[in-house]
Structure 1
Amino acid sequence: MELRIPTSEQLKSVYEGQLKQAFPASELKPLQSIEELWRDGLYRPWCLFDGDEIVGACFLWLGRPGWALLDYLCVSADHRNRGIGALLLSMLLEQEPDLTIFGESELPSHAPDPVMAEHRLGFYARNGAKTAGYETALFGVPYKTLYWSKKPVDDSVLMEQHRHIYESRFSPEKLDRFIRIPYDPAEPLVATPWEE
């Protein structure tokens, strides 16, 4: 298997055939937004190929030099429960050794499927993720914040880099309405589909 950047057509195929099935609308940004970020040099859509078939994807949203958000990690439905997710994450970390990669995984207490949300957190922990000391809410969905780094990262530094990703894309008004870094669990949230 080989981890590589797809063509534009392959990206569309992965988006339509894998991401749309794996993520709810409130967690999935439009394909046009991903393509724009990629064109602007702010996105790396890594795909895991088994020959010509794409069996998984891990998309990075690039921030300041040395920082990236693991925007999506997905394994095709017919390849799940075979260790492909762990392989994909391992290959990504090998491919991007100089990045501190942070991510968001749905809080089980707010997830439609709490058992699956716990399973995801366990998967990330088994695959080297550290848990940050703050949570995030995006478009009304609360998340645990995770990260992979060769050295410990102070929460205040991680939060600053985390915020920067969204500040680079959204207007102050949209940031105020849809992005909470950190998230206060006492604050009420309403799930809202990703906005352009």
Structure 2
Amino acid sequence: MQIKRLSPADCEELYHTALPRDFPAAECKPFAEIRRLLEAGVYEPLLLTDDAGARLAYAWQVVLPGQRTALLDYFAVRCDLRGSGVGTAALQLLRDYYALRVQDLLLECEHPAEAPDPAVARRRIGFYLRAGARATALESRVFGSRYAVLSLPCGGTAPDAVLCKELRALYKVMVPEPYCRGRVIFYGG
């Protein structure tokens, strides 16, 4: 498996073709916001491919210079490969890829208590935990949707209070004032 950084054009194409299939509409931010983050140099859309270059998965992160954590904004495995081990291998490759730059890759997963399909939300969290993530005491509520926050250690791990502080910093860049006020809330940190 290989990692390829996507160009803005390739990112936009994948946004229109794959994201609507892989994520609920409420979780798909407008591409204009992704473009803004790309132009700011803090968004890293990665494609995970096989040796022939075929797409296996994609992982888009928000990475701030000098910060010890990054946020896995979108992660999806190609539909026909789910359950085959590709997702676990992709996450391990991401851990290795980011190990020299960050210590934790944060994940936000739909909270089962409020997810449209609680069983799917529990399976998703279970997948991340089996792949090496750890549950934190943190939760977020972003534009009305509730998320459990997990941490995938890349080179260490920090206490939840530190992770919460860094997640807040990531969101200040992702959702600038005044839009985040009252719409992006963190609990447990």
Per-residue Cα deviation, 1:95-145 (whole angstroms, up to 9, x for no partner): 110312111011111111111101001000001111111211111111111
Q: Does 1:119 align with 2:123?
A: yes
**TM-score normalised by structure 1 residue count:** 0.87
How well do the aligned residues superpose, as a CA RMSD in angstroms? 1.8
The answer to whether the aligner puts 1:69 opposite 2:74 as a matched pair is: no
Corresponding residue number in structure 1 for 2:53: 52
Moved more, 7-16 or 89-98: 7-16
Which amino acid is the alignment partner of residue 130 of structure 1?
R
Equivalent pair of 1:18/1:75 in contact (CA under 8 Å): no
Q: Which deviations, in whole Å up to 9, do the C-alpha atoms of 1:36-91 show, x marking residues without a partner?
A: 21121101111112223222101111135232101010112222221111111111
Letter of the structure 2 residue corresponding to residue 60 of structure 1 = Q
The answer to whether the aligner puts 1:155 opposite 2:160 as a matched pair is yes
**Which residue of structure 2 lines up, in the alignment, with residue 189 of structure 1?**
none
Q: How does 1:180-195 map to 2 (within 5 A)?
A: 180-182=185-187
CA distance 1:93–1:165, change in 2 (3 Å)? same
Using the TM superposition, give the Cα deviation of residue 3 of structure 1 relative to its aligned residue in structure 2, in angstroms: 1.2
Distance 1:170 1:12 in 2: 19
Count of residue pairs brought into register by the alignment: 184
What secondary structure, in the 3-state scheme, does the structure 2 residue paired with 1:35 have?
Answer: helix
**1:28 partner letter:** C
Matches within 5 A, 1:156-171: 156-171=161-176
Give me the whole-angstrom Cα distance separating, in 2, the residues matched to 1:40 and 1:171: 13
Residue in 2 aligned with 1:187? none
**Aligned twin of 1:175:** 180
State the identity %: 29
Distance 1:11 1:77, change over 3 A: same
Unaligned runs of 5+ in 2: none
Does the 8 Å contact 1:62/1:69 carry over to 2?
Answer: yes
SS for the counterpart of 1:168 is helix
Structure 1 runs (4+) greater than 6 angstroms displaced: none
Q: C-alpha displacement at 1:177, in angstroms?
A: 2.5
**TM-superposed deviation, 1:175:** 1.6
Relative to structure 2, which stretch is displaced further, 117-126 or 61-70?
Answer: 61-70
- How far apart are 1:7 and its partner, in Å? 2.6
CA distance in 1, matches of 2:109, 2:65: 22
- Listed as ranges, the matches of 1:1-80 within 5 Å are 1-50=1-50, 51-65=52-66, 66-80=68-82
